[in-house]
Structure formats: C-alpha cells, structure tokens
Structure 1
Amino acid sequence: MFKPIRRNLTILYILTFFLFLVFILVIMYFTVQKVAEREQMKEISQYMKQEKAISKAGLARLKENASGSKVQEAGHPYFYYILKPGGKLLEGEELIPGLHSEMRKLAAEGNLRSGYHEIEYNERNAMYHVEAVHAETSGTVYVVFGIETTGAHHVMQKLLVLFLLLSAVFTAILALLSYFLAGKAIVPIHVALEKQRKFVSDASHELRTPISVFYSSIELLEKEEGEHLSTFGKEVVADLKTEAKLMAEMLEDLLFLARSDQEVQQYRFEEVQLYDLCASIARRFQAGLPKNILLINNLLERPVVWGDPTRLQELIYIFLENAKQYTENGFIKLSLYRKDNFAVIEIEDSGSGIDEHDLPHIFERFYRGDKARVRDGTGLGLSIAEAITEKHRGRIEVKSKVGEGTVFKVFIPLKGEET
C-alpha cells in the first residue's frame, strides 16, 4: 500500500525539483546568450565607426560598373559588403569565404533587411548589421557589416551540453533525495495506519466470541421459547438474529482486510481452471435466484490461471451477490474469456446502476452510495474483491449507468504471465 504512495510522492518531488532546475538553467542559458549577443552588437558598432569604406566619404567615391567588384580578404576581425538592391556587389572584404554570394542572393530576393541578423554558412557563424543608405554616385545601396561568431557559437553549444549534463546529474541526485524524503514523509502515516490496523484486527478478533455467543443464544431462545413468544416478540428475535449474523459477517470481513493489509492472509496458489470454477459457481448461484432474475451463462473460453481457488470463488460470489442485490427484475450475465495475457471474468447486470459520483469510491471500505444505504450488507464486499484481485496481480474495471445496469470486469493474469 505504501509503495505506490512513496512512488507517487517521489515522482512529485522529482518533477517539482526538475522543473525548478530546468527553469533556472534555461534562464541562465538565455541570459548568457543575450549578453553575448549584446557584446557582439557592440563590437560590430565599434568596428563600423572605424571602417572608412562605409563612411560618407567612402560611399561617395563608389562607382557602379558593369562587371561589379571583386571581394577582398579582410585583414581585420570584421567583414563588410556594399551591394545594390538587385544583388550586385560593389565592394567588400570578407572573413568567411563565399559568404558574399549568400548576401547577394538575399539582396536579390529582397530579404536583406535593416538591423542585426545571424547567419550560418559552411559550418561557420556570423552576426551582421544591414543598413540601406544613399550613395551619390550609385544610388541606394545596402551596407552589410559584421563579425564572425563561430567561436562564440561553439561556446554556447558546449554550455548547452554542460547544462544538459548538469540536469541529468542533478536529476539523479534529486531522485535519490526525493525517494528519501518521500520515505520520511510517509513514516507518520505508516505508524498511524499500523495502529489503526492493529486495533481493527484485535477488536474484530476479540468481538468474534461474544457475537458468536449472542447469536447462539438467540437461536436457543428461538428454539426453546419460540412457541411462547408473541408475534411482536418473534419479529424482535428475528431482527436480532439478522443483525447478529450481519455483525458476524462484518467482523469476518474486517479480519480478512486486516490480514490482507498486514500481508498475513493465507493464500494457497495452484493451477485453476476458471471455466470449471465459474460453471460450478453459476449452477449453485442460479439455485438461489428469484424467478424474476435470469442468470445468463456466457463462459466462452477455458483460461487457466495461477491462483487460490477458494479466494477466486469468493471474489466471483461477491460480484454476483452485488448484482443480485441491486437487480430487482432483469438479468445477471456471467462471462469468461481471454484478452491479451489475461483471463477476464465479467459480471453484467441490468440493475439500478451506480451514480457517476459514487463510482470512484465504490472500493473504499464502508462506502455506500445513497441507494445502497437501504440495502443489506457490510459495505466491505468490493474492498475484499479488490484485495483478492491485487493479490492475484490483477485489476478491476467497472462501467455503470444509472437505470441501465453495471459491468464489472476482473482481469487475472493467465498462468505463466502472473509475474
């Protein structure tokens, strides 16, 4: 019981810590990236002031010719290009060989826009600034000025890898820490629940004897003095007998659940032919059904499971009795078939159904919906069914609609699949 709670708490802690860690690392990464970009822009701005070729005097001397100009290799840590809107290159110096052809293409397509931009070309990176200016001799031209940022780009890539590694390392550390903290968090709950379980187990055990004596005394009174009792007296004795029997059943159910919680409930596992078990149960159950309820036997296959036949029989009876209790007129259908690696025991009824607000709680101990409060029973049957199913490494699915009926599906792993 506590393993799922600890697991869920651990997952919650890990997700909380991990999201916080990712948030911090993302902020750090983008902060460093923005600072680096600002420094690069500042560097470009400083170099632009130094370059005479793109000054007013430098642009004034430009003359457009038919063949265009050749690009020279830059002898400094920046590059520049002066282009016509159609893509013709008038002048330039470059750091990354061939980058001018990409700039000409952008200019020809009309994609050379003013402002700062980044580009990757031949596995090298650069940041550049574009400005459209008017030159007296050649009209409007684009002035492209930039620096190579390949080194800075590689540093950012390494920083990203470092952050990812840190995330993985810290997540592993956080997982261990979360598991430890989750264990500490459930200690008080575990202690309180163990005390409650012990009380329920001890109280149920101690009450069995007086309840048995009480029930036997009522039976003796009914047998010895029944003929002398008035009609009212007989009704009182009958009611006392019914309540004593119900109390005895409740104590047995509580003891079963207490032993299941403490994992001391005895189970004798063996190979079980579910078809034979269900067929036998159906024959006996049908004998006690009123005439206005039809039992439909729909045993389609012969799956074999590894389980305790006594507990599996109790499990099926719980659902059949539950269906009988809430079906006043209609049918109960018992089906058996295989699905994937499971044997499926399906109990369907045409009874009153379960309200959607009650469905999430029907396996809780003593929980009874509004309609169930007028019925007989201890309110522990479905809790016992769930405990038996979990012990067999199975699961229960339920669908219900008020006024139409309910379908319970019990999935038990086939023999060889129970691990």
Structure 2
Amino acid sequence: MFKKIKMRLTWMNAISYFIFLVLFLTVFYMSFAQILNKVQENMVESYAANNTDKFFNIYNGPPKPPNRFELEVDQVSFFYVISKDLEILYGEELHEGFNEVLQQNLKPVETKQFERYEYEDETLLVMTQAVRIQGDTLGYIAVGQNVTTYAELLQNVLILLVMLLIVSSIGIALLSYFLAKKSMTPIQISYEQQRQFVANASHELRTPLAVLYSSLELFEEQLKQKGTEYPSDTMDDMKNEANYMNDMLSSLLTLTRSDQNQIRLNIRDVDLSNVLIQRTRRFAKTVQHLAFQLEIDDEITIQADPILVEELLYILLKNAVTYTNEGTVTVRAYTEANNVKIEVADTGIGIAEGDLPHIFERFYRADKIRNKSGTGLGLAIAKVITDLHGGQITVKSGLGKGTIFTIEFPLLQK
C-alpha cells in the first residue's frame, strides 16, 4: 500500500518539477533568442545607417559597369541597391549568386523588413528598407550580414538546454522519490504502530470473548435446568454482541495479515461452478424471505485458495441478503475471453452514487438507509481476497435499483 502511495507521490512531484523546469527553460531560450536576434538586427541597421551616403551616390551616380555585383569575401556585411521596380541595380555581396535568390524574394515594403536565408551552409540576415525622398519612394536597399556564428550559438544553447533538461529530469526523479519517501516516513511509522496495536488487541481480545461466549451458553443452560426465569432477549443480545465482536476481530486480523503480506495462499484448481452452486444453496436454506437464482456455466475452473473463495462468496451473499428486504438474489458465473466473471446481483435498496467509490474502504458505512448490523469490513476483505488472486471487483448500483457486484478472475487454461 505504501509503495503505491510513495510511487504516486514521486510521480506527482516529478511531473510538477518537470513542468516547471520545461517552462523555465522555454522562457529562458525564447528570451535569449529574442535578445540575440535583436543584437543582429541592430548591427544590420547600424551598417545601413553608416552607409546612407554611399547608397544615394549609387542612385544618383553614373551607370554601373556590366558586372553589377562585386564580391567582398573578407567582410561580414553586404548590401544591394534596388530600383523602384524591384530590380537589383548594384550590390557588394559575400556569396556569388545570392542576388538571384534575393531577386526572387523581393517585394515592396513600407519601412523595413527582416528575412533570414540559408545559403551555402551559412545563415544570412537581410534587411530590406525603402529609400524615400520627400515622401516618394526612390527605391530600396537590402542590407545583410553573415550571422552563422550567432545561429550556431543559438543552436548550441538549445542542445545544452535539452541536455540540461534530460540530466535534470533524472535528478528530479531521484529527488522526488527521496522527498516522497521522507514525507511518508512519519505516516508509515504511525500506521505501523496502529496496525501493531490492532493485531495485538485482536489477539488479546479473542480469548476473553471466547470465554465470555462459552460462559453465557453455560449460564443459559443452567438457568433452563433450574427453571429460573430470565429474559431470553437479554441473553440473546449478549450472545449477539459477543458474536459481533468476534466477527470484527476476525476481520481485523485478516486485514492486518494482508497489510503485512502474511496471508499464505493455498492455490490449487477450484471447480468454481460447483463451489458457487453449493455455497448459494447452503445460504438459501437459512434465508426464507428471498428467492435465489443461479445462472452458472458448467465446469468453470480457476486457480485459487478454496477457503478464501468460499469466504468471498459468503461476504457478497450476506451483503445481498442484508440489504434486500424482498425480491431475488441472482448468482451468475461465465467465461469471457481469458477471464471468469462472477456476478452477485440483488433487488435491494441499492447504494447512492456518492458512496460507490468508498464502499471497499475499511469501516466505511453508507448513509443511514444502509446502516444495518455489520462490522463495515466485509467488502474491504472481499477486495483483499480478490486482489490476492490477481482479480478485480467492481460494483454497479443506484438507490432503489439493486446492486451488482462483479468479480473477475483469470481463467485456468486447460
């Protein structure tokens, strides 16, 4: 039980820390990328501002030679002068032929626009800006810079952050497990003390209860022999209370052994069809106000502890009888895929929807309409027995609509 809770806490802590770390690294990366991009754009704008006179001289100067593009391979910045009709007039470029790529992507701009190009395994940042005189557009300039170093830096930062995320995730998982274990320690100690107390109290109380019950029977017999009048209902109440306490102690011992993994299963082949028929018939003999109906397939065999299976069926049948004033209790058993399904259905008062998630909890009692005699441990024990056999128990019910308990066991393959 504590192992499941510990793992659940570990996952909850790990996921919470992981989400926070992802958000933090994402914001950091986006902020860093935005700052880096702004630095690159400022450098391009600065180059454009420092060469304004040069651009106007090209517009106003004599025609350029036939070779309109000059290579400046030793620089990191370049520019192109563009006509109003979006034709490149002249340029000093870093990569031969890049003008053709730029020409295909040119479009009018109101003020300026930044674009990135991947060309010859390098990253080029290009700013296209309108050149105006007295409000009229004279043409455009395209100023660019080789920003491959910055792009590689940003990529390296991303790789570093991903590696950091992976390493941190492992660290977060270990830290979450440690914190979950540490937070569970005082609860586990308290639970162990409580469980030990229940086990000790159960062992200590069973003997005096047995003596008390025997004494009551002896006392009752002596009264009958002497002919002494004694209120029989008082004697019955005392015996019932002793039986009630004995049942509760037995249930507590079963749950305590389950918590301590001390229940040893005597697993063998069990003829479930026969067990269900015999158990239901024996139960029906003690109940006169209800009809029992059997819908059980033949020769259903499972691997289980026969004593615990009997106890499981007894718990479900007793629950059905207790909360059904009139009507029918139906026991079904059939195979489905590789599983055996057992259903115990009644036409009783049913269970409220809000109580359904809690009925397998220890000492949980539903609303007052179901507050009849019982220890409140039967269904908890039924779930323990089902879990010990690798099965599953579920319930469907509604107020005034009866209840159906369904148990699913693995089918013994022949």
* TM-score, scaled to structure 2: 0.87
Kindly provide the CA deviation profile for residues 25-59 of structure 1, in whole angstroms up to 9, marking residues without a partner as x.
22332232122112211211222123357633333
Given that 1:120 and 1:126 are in contact with CA atoms closer than 8 Å, whether structure 2 keeps it comes out as yes
- Secondary structure of 1:24's counterpart equals helix
> Please, which of 326, 332, 338 is the counterpart of residue 329 of structure 2?
332
Counterpart check, 1:12 vs 2:7 = no
Counterpart check, 1:345 vs 2:342 = yes
Code of the aligned partner of 2:281: R
Q: In 2 relative to 1, CA 379–87 (structure 1 residues): closer, same or farther, beyond 3 Å? A: same
**Structure 2 residue aligned with 1:395:** 392
Alignment of 1:120-199 (within 5 A): 120-121=118-119, 124-134=122-132, 139-199=137-197
2: CA distance between counterparts of 1:54 and 1:305?
Answer: 94
**Which deviates more from structure 2 when the two are superposed, residues 365-374 or residues 111-120?**
111-120
1: CA distance between counterparts of 2:148 and 2:297?
Answer: 70
1: CA distance between counterparts of 2:86 and 2:275?
Answer: 87
Alignment of 1:196-345 (within 5 A): 196-226=194-224, 228-229=228-229, 233-291=231-289, 293-300=290-297, 302-345=299-342
> Please, which of 352, 356, 368 is the counterpart of residue 359 of structure 1?
356
**Structure 2 residue aligned with 1:57:** 57
**Structure 1 residue aligned with 2:30:** 30
- Secondary structure of 1:209's counterpart equals helix
- Secondary structure of 1:311's counterpart equals helix
- Secondary structure of 2:106's counterpart equals helix
**Which deviates more from structure 2 when the two are superposed, residues 250-259 or residues 161-170?**
161-170
Q: How many residue pairs were aligned? A: 409
Unaligned ranges ≥5, structure 1: none
2: CA distance between counterparts of 1:50 and 1:125?
Answer: 23
Measure how far apart 1:117 and its partner are: 3.6
Code of the aligned partner of 1:364: E
2: CA distance between counterparts of 1:296 and 1:384?
Answer: 25
**Structure 2 residue aligned with 1:41:** 41
2: CA distance between counterparts of 1:27 and 1:274?
Answer: 61
Kindly provide the CA deviation profile for residues 318-369 of structure 1, in whole angstroms up to 9, marking residues without a partner as x.
1222122222223333222344543322222232221122122212211101
**Structure 2 residue aligned with 1:107:** 106
Given that 1:346 and 1:410 are in contact with CA atoms closer than 8 Å, whether structure 2 keeps it comes out as yes
1: CA distance between counterparts of 2:117 and 2:86?
Answer: 17
Kindly provide the CA deviation profile for residues 350-393 of structure 1, in whole angstroms up to 9, marking residues without a partner as x.
32221122122212211101135531111000111111122222
* TM-score, scaled to structure 1: 0.86
Counterpart check, 1:405 vs 2:406 = no
Given that 1:52 and 1:58 are in contact with CA atoms closer than 8 Å, whether structure 2 keeps it comes out as no
Given that 1:342 and 1:414 are in contact with CA atoms closer than 8 Å, whether structure 2 keeps it comes out as yes
Give me the CA root mean square deviation: 3.1
Unaligned ranges ≥5, structure 2: none
Measure how far apart 1:101 and its partner are: 4.0
Measure how far apart 1:84 and its partner are: 5.2
